[in-house]
Amino acid sequence: MQSSLSETSSDINIEPDAEGMNEVSDDDNRVEPPKFGMQISSDKEVLDYYKRYAKQEGFGVIIKRTKRDLDGDSKYVTIGCARGGRYYPSHSNLSKPRPTTKTDCKAKINARFVNGVWVLTSVDLVHNHNTVSPQKSRFFRSHKCLDEYSQRMLDLNDRAGIRMNKNFQALVTDAGGFENLAFQEKDCRNFIDKARYLRMGKGGGEALNDYSRE
């Protein structure tokens, strides 16, 4: 990566429930805002960088558009706020539209592959909605991460017959507190549902039904 981009410190000094307050105790530990002309070494690092910035600033992200060349290599990408776009109900739901978090937010970055590096060609930092604290933003879908170690422990404990509430609590204890986890109990349940289905094959449906009744 050409620009100096640093990870957000885990030592975040904020009020527990103060939405929109994203102060970090040390400015040197902040992820710098995206700027026009910023150079980054790969498309993966573009996404990783913007996700770190978004987590720090309190919003989720989504890849809105990508363009590839004839060889299938990425040449252009647009990554924006997860609340961008609008919800258009289907004809059958016009009378009862589904709740939506979409606000047509325009915050986004565009990056293009130029002369061996990725360059930010346009940047919009303005959101049309409130953001949340970094402690809450870690639960946006784009920022959640059930790491391989946690997956392995969940699977081993499930095979041993340990119930989900105790299985999840073991991970909380191992991490030194709930605030240090980048996932929630429902994410663990979803993972175990899939793991059981794969383990049981055709019998997976019965296993999932039994699991839901626990």
- Tell me, yes or no, if the pTM score tops 0.85: no
Query: What average pLDDT does this structure show over 15-29?
Result: 42
Q: Are 26 and 48 in contact (CB under 8 A)?
A: no
User: What pLDDT is recorded for position 200?
Assistant: 77
Residue 139 has pLDDT above 80, yes or no: no
User: Measured over all CA atoms, what is the biggest interatomic distance in the chain, rounded to whole angstroms?
Assistant: 57
Higher pLDDT, 181 or 121: 121
Torsion of CA 48, 27, 146, 154, to 10 degrees: 150
What pLDDT digit, counting tens, does each position of 108-130 carry? Answer: 999 999 999 999 999 999 999 99
Nearest one of 138, 124, 117 to 45, comparing CA atoms: 117
pLDDT of residue 104 exceeding 60: yes
Task: Read off the amino acid at residue 3.
Answer: S
The C-alpha atoms of residue 80 and residue 63 are separated, in whole angstroms, by 6
21 pLDDT exceeds 50? no
